[in-house]
Amino acid sequence: MAVAVGGDEEIPMSDINTTPLVDVMLVLLIIFLIAVPVVVQTVQVKLPNVRFDPTTTKPENVSLTVRAEQDGSCGVYWGMTRVNATELLNRAVAKLRREIDRQGGVNAPGLELPEAHIRGDINTPYRCIGGAIYTMQLAGFSRVGFISEPPPGGVVERM
C-alpha cells in the first residue's frame, strides 16, 4: 500500500498506481502490432465460387467406395467388389495400361487419362481415404476426385 508523503497527516493513499499497468499494456500493444501482420500473411489466390459441380461419369473412370468396416479395417470397393491394397494397385495399373493402349499409346495426341472418383463414408477415418488416394496416385492416376452429396434443393451455382 502506498503512503502519501509530505503532508501533515499520515493517511494511506487509496489511489491505484496505474503506471506499471500502462507500461505493460503499451508493450503488449507494440508486440501485437508487430506480430499480427506476420501471422496473417497468405498467398493470394482466387477461389472458385461454386458450391458443387455435377460429375460427368465416363465409362473409363474408376469408381471407388471407401468405408470403415465393423472390425475397424478399411473397406475399399472397386465398383461392387471389395479389394485390398495390393489388388487395388494391380487393378488400377492394369486399367490405366488398357486405357492408354486403347487410345494409341503414351505419345498419342489428345490422350485423356481416366479419373478416379472416390465416395467416402462420412464416418470413415482419413487413413482409409488417404490410403486409397495414395494407391491410385501410385498407380499413375493423376486426377483423383471425391463424390459428395449436394445439399437438398441445391442448384449448381456458377459465378
**pLDDT tens, residue order, the chain (159 aa):** 455 555 566 777 777 788 888 999 999 999 888 877 766 666 565 655 556 666 677 888 898 999 888 888 899 999 888 999 999 999 999 999 999 998 888 888 888 888 998 888 888 888 999 999 999 999 999 889 888 766 565 555 544
In 3D space, the residue among 119, 115, 107, 105 whose CA is nearest the CA of residue 140 turns out to be: 115
Rounded alpha-carbon distances, angstroms, from residue 3 to 6, 16, 129, 145? 10, 11, 70, 74
The SS3 call for residue 148 is: coil
CATH number of 62-146: 3.30.420.270
Q: Taking the CA of residue 63 as centre, how many other CA atoms within 13 Å lie in the half-sphere pointing to its CB?
A: 10
φ/ψ of 82, rounded to 5, equals -75, 135
